[in-house]
Structure 1
Amino acid sequence: MSLPAPSAQYVLGLDLGTSSVKAVLLDTESRTVVDSQIQETKAEVSSTEGDKGREQDVARIVSALHHCVAALPRERLRRVARIGVSGQMHGVMLWKSQEGCIWQKAEAGHTFQPRGTSHLVTWQDGRCSREFLDSLTQPDSHLSLATGFGCATIFWFLRNRPQFLESFNASGTIHDYIVAVLCGLKKPLMSVQNAASWGYFNTRCGSWNLPILRDSGFPTCLLPAIAKSGVIAGKMAHEWYGVPEGTEVGVALGDFQCSVYACMTEKTDAVLNISTSAQLTFALMPAFLPPARPNPNASVTYFPYFDGIYLAVAAALNGGNVLASFVEMLKQWTQELGQEVPESTIYSQSICAALNIACTDLVVQPTVFGERHLPDQLASVTHISPSNLSLGHVTRALCRGIAENLHSMLPCQQLIESGVRRIMGSGSALTKNEVLQQEVARVFTLPIVYGKTVDSAVGVAMVMLDRK
């Protein structure tokens, strides 16, 4: 990395997540995190769409961002060379370009406040029903359109509240907005990563489906300009809590890609993350191009990564949430029997019991929450016998089922044939569960390495450090 001044020694990484904001300072020489701050946004607000709507107050998100940055050491913020920003993908907010914020000089330094912006409609939003999505012209993209995607949400406003859109001339993800504000951009920029997550974007040619959108009456004037993932979007328009004016800011990136970047040490690594849900991913060869049209029955999707490379991703809806449901079930049973046992005790005792069981012939299909490619699939338990109904047997079978479900989506043999040499294991549900680790190792025969943390804020800082 070419630093703009001898005193510049840090990269500031910012991640605007669904429930919290995180800021890290990465030392440019050691590539280690020297400071970090995290703050819950508590930004959820009621939506006119009731239970289907998922909206957040942008001002609360910005407030959490300011809190994180202001809490970092001022002497180090003054030596920041670059800023990287990542965040929750798919979601959309709208604003009026160059009027969407107010910069103010405060005692702690320059700060900004949103002005006249819409709420952030998050990726969790459910207002676009399947019937509504089917009524739209299908995009020219290898990725399927879903509710919560930016373009789908704008289409919903166009059909249901067209007057709402008239107040704005710009749109983007929440992290696109932050980059536009920091750099004072006249028109927001959006990376290929974020654009692909919005729908109606062709990653092969790197452009929006403008003819399709225009023919459908879509307000294309709202769409951001497109930039390659990892490029510099602009420079800081103001000093910000000590970060110098003129500091380079990268175009906003997807939190998933940045979390993979933080964990994937070698190009031949695959990354397995099991937290609430589960993802197994690896980088494809540079020559790979995704199919022209999506296959709704495919268990693997392809996300744009960096430098024209795609990630093959098996994204399972069933991960740590299955274990949480199991613990909740046991807790409810004990309550019905007149006992009160904390969830932490149930979980720890279940794992201890399973560690005493080397293997089990009990079979658990753990798809309690279905899967995107098999939405109607339910969970099941088979091969039940009097000898395998203990807590240890059931817990081990459940952990094995989670591993085997992922393996059914992306088999180990496919990883090996694609040049993968090892798996980087991460995520709280995996790294804190020895039984699940054993079952993952049993199913995936490649070496599995633990210790790397999936962290989008660290990942986006590393991206900015590595970009030339």
Structure 2
Amino acid sequence: MYSTFSPDCTKVLISSEVMATSQSCSADFVLGMDLGTTSVKVVLLEAQSNRVTDSRSFPTNSDISCTTDTHAKEQDPALIIAALDQCMDALPKDKLKKVKCIGVCGQMHGIVLWKSKSGCEWLSKDEIIRFIPKEDVSQLITWQDGRCSADFLSSLPKPDSHLSVATGFGCATIFWYMKHRPEFLSDFSDAGTIQDYMVSMLGGLEKCVMTGQNAASWGYFNTTTNQWNTQILKDAGFPVHLLPVVVESGAVAGYTSSEWYGIPAHTPVGAALGDFQCSVYSCMTDKGDAVLNMSTSAQLTFGMPAEFSPPSSPDAFCPVAYFPYLHGSYLAVAASLNGGNVMATFVRMLDSWMKEFGLEVNESRIYSQLIQSALAQPNTDLTVTSTLLGERHDPTTSASVSQISPSNLSLGHMTRAVCRGIIENLATMMPPQSLQAAGVRCIIGSGSALSCNPILQQEVERVFPFPVVYGKDVDSAVGVSMVFNDQT
């Protein structure tokens, strides 16, 4: 049985310098966590050596089927936190007692809403204190949400930002609810990404705190001034009271309001960062590095010079965006909506076809056979345009198959063409010539989809004329722990 636990609700917003003095010298670890689209991962980083000693990951299985709107993409925050609990339960208890600070990152753009001071309930079981979301916390509307059509987005006020607003962005989602379900918004006082919610609950914050990395991913945020477009939003009737308080990336949001899995109360909790920026931080050690990360979606990025300033207004048709990074710097990013999810859809399609013939084949076996067939087919004249999910700079684009002939209809040809299409789409968004002009000398390949798929790796090496390095510790959970370890 669980028993209700009431933590100390003293709240404070502190600067990063507090981290170095608030813990005893016996606190030797940084806890990093990544609340991703499909899984949660936590790591323990030994502070002195900057080395990961323990790592755990569990799938969230949190997707919610929406029968009323097929464009909706939502997840259950309770299941995300449950996956986090599984991770925390599996970490060494003796090391958790020595955690000196907590870093949190997660999937960007999405939004979850809650009521301040009542977003969770603290429980104690078997001497372990944890929290669960309350029923009055909304579902997480994710970055994959497609409810905001091109016509709807064009009706919104023009932002004072160098970044365009797209469907799945927090502010766009709120505008959609204002038009279609205004009563829904009246139930809440706070909003943030899922990682911001996590920080708010751990720290017992009276108001949600958000870094510029996540704020920029919501839209209507000026990264130069580090402020929301408050007046523009007010004039449009936007409920600006839902907007989080913005702090610097790398700052601390507050202290844990109680002991949590053995981590002492009053342990500093960093304001949540974006999972993408943290994955880059974990591996980009040289200004000549570019990072290609491919998991559910895909991103190709490199660091801009320190003196770079983004343009004053967005170019909705430009495939390259400039994301705020750390210490006022920016990353040039080609962020594609089409990555590992395209291969996953291909596998599900084949599985569905076989079931119609009464055949049951495990999806992992299908995936394995696709790889084997494509390895035996090193080239193909079959062309697959793999923009199955559209792109933010071109939402109307779709996938297509062309150059079909009787000789290229094998599984190997099709798999090779699908993988090639994924990589060539990225190369269209950020051509190799632009990487060369920026001084890129090496590509660091990362992400589960890329690391597990040798065909994608072959296509990367075919399309981009740079050495490609695999196997580096490219990991958002590691990156966020490194960020906050470097602050101390």
Q: TM-score, normalised by structure 1?
A: 0.89
Number of aligned residue pairs: give it.
468
- Specify whether residues 462 and 324 from structure 1 end up closer, same or farther in structure 2 by C-alpha distance, changes over 3 A only: same
Greater CA drift, 61-70 or 285-294 = 61-70
Q: Return the match for 1:157 from 171, 177, 193.
A: 177
Give 1:392 shift. 4.3
CA RMSD of aligned residues (A): 2.9
Q: Is the 8 A contact 2:221 2:227 kept in 1?
A: yes
Greater CA drift, 252-261 or 118-127 = 118-127
Q: Return the match for 2:81 from 57, 62, 66.
A: 62
Instruction: Please give the residue correspondences for 1:223-238 in structure 2 after superposition, counting only pairs within 5 Å.
Output: 223-238=243-258
The residue number in structure 1 matching 2:133 is 114
Q: Return the match for 1:38 from 29, 37, 57.
A: 57
**1:128 maps onto 2:151 in alignment:** no
The residue number in structure 2 matching 1:185 is 205
Greater CA drift, 345-354 or 128-137 = 345-354
**1:303 maps onto 2:323 in alignment:** yes
- Specify whether residues 430 and 280 from structure 1 end up closer, same or farther in structure 2 by C-alpha distance, changes over 3 A only: same
Instruction: Please give the residue correspondences for 1:441-456 in structure 2 after superposition, counting only pairs within 5 Å.
Output: 441-456=461-476
- Specify whether residues 390 and 250 from structure 1 end up closer, same or farther in structure 2 by C-alpha distance, changes over 3 A only: same
The residue number in structure 1 matching 2:482 is 462
Equivalent residue letter for 2:239: P
CA distance in 2, matches of 1:344, 1:106: 37
Equivalent residue letter for 1:318: N
The residue number in structure 2 matching 1:201 is 221
Q: Is the 8 A contact 1:49 1:127 kept in 2?
A: no
Q: TM-score, normalised by structure 2?
A: 0.86
Greater CA drift, 418-427 or 30-39 = 30-39
**1:371 maps onto 2:391 in alignment:** yes
Equivalent residue letter for 1:260: V
Give 1:190 shift. 0.5
Q: Deviations over 1:249-269 (max 9, x none)?
A: 110111121122223233321
Q: Deviations over 1:48-100 (max 9, x none)?
A: 95434344443343333333223322110110011001122222222232333
Q: Is the 8 A contact 2:150 2:395 kept in 1?
A: no
Q: Is the 8 A contact 2:444 2:468 kept in 1?
A: yes
CA distance in 2, matches of 1:401, 1:125: 23
Give 1:270 shift. 0.8
Q: Is the 8 A contact 1:362 1:382 kept in 2?
A: yes
Q: Return the match for 1:440 from 442, 452, 460.
A: 460
Q: Deviations over 1:183-203 (max 9, x none)?
A: 232222110011111111111
The residue number in structure 1 matching 2:48 is 29
Q: Deviations over 1:88-124 (max 9, x none)?
A: 2222222232333344454424333434433333333
- Specify whether residues 36 and 327 from structure 1 end up closer, same or farther in structure 2 by C-alpha distance, changes over 3 A only: closer
**1:96 maps onto 2:96 in alignment:** no
Q: Return the match for 1:281 from 289, 301, 320.
A: 301
CA distance in 2, matches of 1:172, 1:368: 28
Greater CA drift, 189-198 or 253-262 = 253-262
The residue number in structure 2 matching 1:406 is 426
CA distance in 1, matches of 2:183, 2:399: 45
Q: Return the match for 2:104 from 61, 82, 85.
A: 85
Q: Is the 8 A contact 2:166 2:392 kept in 1?
A: no
Give 1:334 shift. 6.8
**1:426 maps onto 2:446 in alignment:** yes
Say which SS state the counterpart of residue 197 (structure 1) adopts: helix
Give 1:449 shift. 0.3
CA distance in 1, matches of 2:128, 2:364: 44
CA distance in 2, matches of 1:62, 1:320: 24
Q: Is the 8 A contact 1:396 1:435 kept in 2?
A: yes
Instruction: Please give the residue correspondences for 1:258-277 in structure 2 after superposition, counting only pairs within 5 Å.
Output: 258-277=278-297
CA distance in 2, matches of 1:397, 1:51: 28
Give 1:323 shift. 3.7
CA distance in 2, matches of 1:362, 1:41: 36
Q: Deviations over 1:378-428 (max 9, x none)?
A: 445555566655554554444333332221211122112112221011233
Give 1:226 shift. 0.6
- Specify whether residues 341 and 2 from structure 1 end up closer, same or farther in structure 2 by C-alpha distance, changes over 3 A only: same
Equivalent residue letter for 2:194: I
Q: Return the match for 1:248 from 268, 272, 275.
A: 268
Identity of aligned residues (%): 58
- Specify whether residues 134 and 109 from structure 1 end up closer, same or farther in structure 2 by C-alpha distance, changes over 3 A only: same
Q: Deviations over 1:25-57 (max 9, x none)?
A: 112233232222333444445669543434444
Greater CA drift, 99-108 or 240-249 = 99-108
Q: Is the 8 A contact 1:427 1:453 kept in 2?
A: no
CA distance in 2, matches of 1:374, 1:300: 12
Q: Is the 8 A contact 1:263 1:454 kept in 2?
A: yes
CA distance in 1, matches of 2:77, 2:378: 50
CA distance in 2, matches of 1:70, 1:45: 25
Give 1:434 shift. 2.8
Equivalent residue letter for 2:72: G
